[in-house]
Structure 1
Amino acid sequence: MSAPSAPAPRSTRRFLSLWFPRLGAERALRQDRGDPALPFAVVATQGPAQMLHSLSAGAEAAGLRRDQPLRDALAMCPTLVTRLRNPQIEAAFLASLRRWAGKYSPWVGVAGEEALSLDITGCAHLFGGEEGLLAAIDGDCAGFGLTVRAGIADTVGGAWALAHYAGQGAAHHRSGDAVDQEARATRSRAVKRRHWERGGAAPDTPPDTPTAGIIARRIAPPGQVRSALAPLPLAALRLEPDTLAQLSRLGLRRVSDLVDQPRAPLTRRFGPRLTLRIDQALGHVPEPVSPVAEARPFAVRMTLPDPIGLEEDMLAGLDRLLPRLCETLAAAGRGARLMRLQAYRTDHSMQWVAAGLARATADPERIRPLLAMKVGEIDAGHGIDMLRLEAVQTEPVSAREPVGHLAAGEVIANRLAASTAEDDLIARVGARIGMEAVTRWHPASSHIPEKTAQVLAAAWSDPVEAWPEPPVPRPLLLWRPEPVHAPDVPQVPQRFRWRRRDLVLAEATGPERIAPEWWLDDPNWRSGTRDYWRVRVEGGETLWLFFAHGGAMSPGWFCHGQFA
């Protein structure tokens, strides 16, 4: 029998987790002033299918569930009203909720797409205690038209578990009645669990039922996070679905079934992430709240009185937005490296196009052609009623002016003009095929012939002023060494066979000895030290041959390249 794990250390910190289970649907209903009692859902595209992503209270009452195919949902509820999901707007709405939560604690962090984490240490007494704090949050969210579930514990993981699963029992991973699928010895215990059907006490109230005991159940008293999490399902530990299914097949369904198990077998079978989640929830591993830094957005927008749909109209809007944004960037001493143009349609959906630059700039004349190439990709749908232009990535830039005498100033000006033209060319080509597909060669510090150059992205590297000269001329073409049929002696053969051709030596220059990098185990250089020769054969071809003296492989002659 394994020994129980050590008790969680007593913590003086308190954390609050806020979960908005209907964030996407209720945000859209707030915008349209819709009725939450009506069936409404936000739909997300997952591969070839459309799935329900967020449901209103009316849709859940109709029996619909999250991640259900849209066609199945419409078959169950023909009156269902849907809208396409807009992740950017939902993220902005959650950011506004994060700023609202700052009234309860200065330390507010984002925990996923629908949740917030707050460090409320020393803050609860300002609202009449932790129960008063939750009551104030419930009142605010009721006024906002939002559904919220909250949990307070000594750890971030414990608060998250109470917010998501307080009052819920452990579910079974198989379909059908789990009790009927269990062994006969287990069914006797199942009868005791359903004692309320024979006049016993009623089970716990579901989390959505507005009773006074819900707030108390969502709060784990200080030092009692272990007992508060014990009856919750294993999903409260933030585990992956595959891990949950495997644990359920082993008969582990509640947190109490798992926390007392020996850690070594769990780590070997399920990996270290499982034990990490347990330790985070119990407080053995710290998990602080990291507030999101307020980033200064460089963006401008334009609301249109009438929807537009022509490419010329979108370009006209771009001409209005781009100079304003570039003036803001120049005043802040920054230049844009990645620009994004967002087109908001009348059906509350949005499409965006992006363009990257090879060098940060705040010059609208260099940015506009790149965005103009992308505008044609925007599908206007039923019309576009707002345009938004944002500099997603920016870098500090400074104005450079030629100084010195006239001749030096002209040289510097010419170099700057050539650099700008090259950067514009890279940006234009990258806008069509991708910035990562535009590359350039750079010298590398290696004496191995095939390693003397490296490929770098042209947009994030500077051109080479002067390429270092090799000790002896190198061939124009290099390939993987190909065997040459010749005697296995270090003297250059007068006749040899290569690529099914018999060649006769006309002239040979060398040798140049190159040793492998002894600190690396390169499979291509297990033939040992090489002696390279520049060999011209009858017929005019100039080849680069080497004799491998043999290391882990047999010695012999090989052809490595060809000169121009």
Structure 2
Amino acid sequence: MRRVVSLYLPNWSVDRLRRDLGADAPPPEAGLILVGRSGRRRSVLAANTAALARGARVGMAATQAQALIPDLLVRDADPVGDAAALDRLAVWALRRYAPVCQADGPDGLAIDATGAAHLKGGEAAMLQDMRARLGDAGIAADAAIGPTYGAAHAVVRFRRDLRLIGPDGVDSAVGPLPLAALRLSPDLIANLQRMGFDRVADVAHRPRAPLLHRFGPELGRRLDQAYGRVDEPLVPVAAPEIPCVSRTFAEPIGAPETLARHANALARDLCAILETAGLGARRLDWTCFRVDHRVEAVRVGLARPVRDVARLTRLLTDRIETIDPGFGIDRMTLAAIGAEPLDWRPAGSGLGDATTPDLSDLVDVLSNRIGAERLYRLTPVESDVPERSMRRAPPLAPVPREAWSPDWPRPARLFRRPEPVETLALLPDNPPTHFTWRGVRRRVVRADGPERIFGEWRRRDAEVWAVRDYFQVEDEAGRRFWLFRAGDGEDGRTGAQAWFIHGLFG
């Protein structure tokens, strides 16, 4: 199922100018317009929020805008520089989000995120990450994702209540929008409106022949692109600084074994380039261009810089089943979109030194099969509260200097949230004699504790008096549990004296 993102940059020209000016940029509350020539006329090509709020409009004559806003700041527009900067932004999006990114001038990007959103925690998280990162850089941005680029492009620009379009939700998402959402020419929109057509739904389900005869092929083409009846291929942005190799075929290929053979050849050619540069690949994009102009792409990540042909080939061929060759592939490329200096060291001195096992190969295989976000290690954090005493880290991250205290062992399995139990215990310091958890009553035969843990008052006021008393208990079957009582058993301010289970030993 194809998923395409439309990234919309409503103030791209102005935001880029402000970033270029840096400290010399005018304050946001000052009206600013960018002007350019349209024939003999100087007109407004872009305006900041302050100028728009005071009556300036894109397309307005520059002299009219200056007469309307006396203290208006006027700068020359730079469409060529804006387009070049948009291409650079597309390269940034390619490195960070998906293998297929295309600049969609003058104010957006098209990103084919098929199979890539899970690497950022899902589609909603990926869109939020785009908005947040560009916002931190001073660039206003919005994004929507859908099964077609036409639908995503329309929704992000003409709706505020929808950003995720389901596979079957194109009609309900696009139908209520004005005809301009279909990326039609102004003359065609004017002709349609004269005939009484104002919304996409007014023309979407009408017989095609009369529309084609009266208005030409543009309307039908845009409708078919938005509804997914015809494909709208994206052309990945070219980045000369990224090490890349390619192969073109006289006859289209599609058999898995043929794809695997050429993947090996591309990996060999790429490793030769990386070796010359002293680099190793950290992220690879294998891009296959079909004869119908559709692009199939595979992204592979590596835990450490790698320049091993066999290892790269195996990681690529593990993902062959995700490539749909269609009627055939006539060109493919392999690019190291992430490359780092390869720090090569001999395995040992040859004098019997013990070597540390290299787990990076295993990490790479698992990460690309189940997702990098599902593979991690736990590292200690300075906190007495159990659920705060650890954090996720990359599998091959350096071992931190901090370590958990051996005085009080922690359970092998710690629950994400403590679960309540029914129990009976003598206050204030006695362990429970029995407890009921998930409908099963268990009798306690051995117990150790309490281990008292105080709340972290510096985090929030509610933890100033908070106390937990933890006990390690063992039932008749030999299973060991980690229970705690909320409160010290005497003062009501320290907790409600309720009991919870927080983990299991073994």
TM-score tier (shorter): 0.5 to 0.7
Cα distance change on mapping 1:352 and 1:493 into 2, 3 Å: closer
Given that residues 488 and 555 in structure 1 are in contact (C-alpha distance below 8 angstroms), is that contact kept between their aligned partners in structure 2? no
Cα distance in 2 between the residues matched to 1:382 and 1:327: 31
Instruction: Give 1:536 deviation, angstroms.
Output: 4.3
1:531 corresponds to which residue? 469
Question: Is 1:517 equivalent to 2:462 in the alignment?
Answer: no
- Pairwise mapping of residues 229-248 of structure 1 onto structure 2 (< 5 A)? none
Question: Is 1:426 equivalent to 2:363 in the alignment?
Answer: yes
SS of residue matched to 2:266: helix
Q: 2:324 aligns with which of 367, 379, 396?
A: 379
Instruction: Give 1:297 deviation, angstroms.
Output: 1.9
- Deviation per CA, 1:179-216: give whole Å up to 9, x if none: xxxxxxxxxxxxxxxxxxxxxxxxxxxxxxxxxxxxxx
| Corresponding pairs, count | 331
SS of residue matched to 1:472: coil
RMSD between aligned residues? 4.5
Given that residues 492 and 508 in structure 1 are in contact (C-alpha distance below 8 angstroms), is that contact kept between their aligned partners in structure 2? no
Q: 2:233 aligns with which of 86, 101, 124?
A: 86
Q: 1:551 aligns with which of 469, 486, 493?
A: 493
Q: What amino acid maps onto 2:212 in structure 1?
A: C
Q: 1:475 aligns with which of 390, 401, 411?
A: 411
SS of residue matched to 1:498: strand
Instruction: Give 1:444 deviation, angstroms.
Output: 2.4
Given that residues 59 and 80 in structure 1 are in contact (C-alpha distance below 8 angstroms), is that contact kept between their aligned partners in structure 2? no
- Pairwise mapping of residues 368-407 of structure 1 onto structure 2 (< 5 A)? 368-402=313-347, 404=349, 406-407=351-352
Q: What amino acid maps onto 1:475 in structure 2?
A: P
Question: Is 1:8 equivalent to 2:71 in the alignment?
Answer: yes
Given that residues 345 and 382 in structure 1 are in contact (C-alpha distance below 8 angstroms), is that contact kept between their aligned partners in structure 2? yes
Given that residues 512 and 531 in structure 1 are in contact (C-alpha distance below 8 angstroms), is that contact kept between their aligned partners in structure 2? yes
Cα distance in 2 between the residues matched to 1:386 and 1:501: 62
Instruction: Give 1:406 deviation, angstroms.
Output: 1.5
Cα distance in 1 between the residues matched to 2:444 and 2:481: 10
Q: 1:334 aligns with which of 279, 282, 286?
A: 279
- Pairwise mapping of residues 248-267 of structure 1 onto structure 2 (< 5 A)? none
SS of residue matched to 1:335: strand
- Pairwise mapping of residues 36-435 of structure 1 onto structure 2 (< 5 A)? 44=149, 46=151, 47-48=167-168, 74-75=208-209, 76-77=211-212, 80=217, 84-89=231-236, 91-92=237-238, 296-402=241-347, 404=349, 406-408=351-353, 411-412=354-355, 415=356, 418-419=357-358, 422-435=359-372
Q: What amino acid maps onto 1:446 in structure 2?
A: S
Cα distance in 1 between the residues matched to 2:469 and 2:282: 48
Given that residues 482 and 501 in structure 2 are in contact (C-alpha distance below 8 angstroms), is that contact kept between their aligned partners in structure 1? yes
Cα distance in 1 between the residues matched to 2:234 and 2:199: 16
Structure of higher CA gyration radius: 1
Instruction: Give 1:304 deviation, angstroms.
Output: 1.3
Cα distance in 1 between the residues matched to 2:198 and 2:313: 42
1:134 corresponds to which residue? none
Given that residues 425 and 433 in structure 2 are in contact (C-alpha distance below 8 angstroms), is that contact kept between their aligned partners in structure 1? no
Cα distance in 2 between the residues matched to 1:329 and 1:313: 24
Instruction: Give 1:355 deviation, angstroms.
Output: 1.8
Cα distance change on mapping 1:66 and 1:307 into 2, 3 Å: farther
Cα distance change on mapping 1:313 and 1:505 into 2, 3 Å: closer
1:228 corresponds to which residue? none
Cα distance change on mapping 1:45 and 1:352 into 2, 3 Å: farther
Given that residues 527 and 555 in structure 1 are in contact (C-alpha distance below 8 angstroms), is that contact kept between their aligned partners in structure 2? no
Given that residues 308 and 385 in structure 1 are in contact (C-alpha distance below 8 angstroms), is that contact kept between their aligned partners in structure 2? yes
Cα distance change on mapping 1:504 and 1:434 into 2, 3 Å: closer
Given that residues 380 and 402 in structure 2 are in contact (C-alpha distance below 8 angstroms), is that contact kept between their aligned partners in structure 1? no
Cα distance change on mapping 1:66 and 1:491 into 2, 3 Å: same
1:461 corresponds to which residue? 397
Q: What amino acid maps onto 2:412 in structure 1?
A: L
1:270 corresponds to which residue? none
Q: What amino acid maps onto 1:515 in structure 2?
A: F
Q: What amino acid maps onto 2:291 in structure 1?
A: T
Q: What amino acid maps onto 2:409 in structure 1?
A: P
Instruction: Give 1:369 deviation, angstroms.
Output: 0.9
Cα distance in 1 between the residues matched to 2:467 and 2:304: 44
Instruction: Give 1:318 deviation, angstroms.
Output: 1.9
Cα distance in 2 between the residues matched to 1:490 and 1:388: 69
Q: What amino acid maps onto 1:555 in structure 2?
A: Q
Cα distance in 2 between the residues matched to 1:343 and 1:452: 45
Q: What amino acid maps onto 1:470 in structure 2?
A: P
Q: What amino acid maps onto 2:292 in structure 1?
A: D
TM-score normalised by the chain length of structure 2: 0.54
Instruction: Give 1:372 deviation, angstroms.
Output: 0.9
SS of residue matched to 1:551: helix
Q: What amino acid maps onto 1:471 in structure 2?
A: D
SS of residue matched to 1:347: coil
Q: What amino acid maps onto 2:249 in structure 1?
A: L
TM-score normalised by the chain length of structure 1: 0.49
SS of residue matched to 2:79: strand
Question: For structure 2, which runs of at least 5 residues remain unmatched after alignment?
Answer: 1-53, 56-67, 84-102, 106-147, 152-166, 175-180, 222-229
1:441 corresponds to which residue? 378
Instruction: Give 1:350 deviation, angstroms.
Output: 2.1
2:126 corresponds to which residue? none
Q: Relative to structure 2, which stretch is displaced further, 553-562 or 299-308?
A: 553-562
Given that residues 431 and 471 in structure 2 are in contact (C-alpha distance below 8 angstroms), is that contact kept between their aligned partners in structure 1? no
Q: What amino acid maps onto 2:289 in structure 1?
A: Y
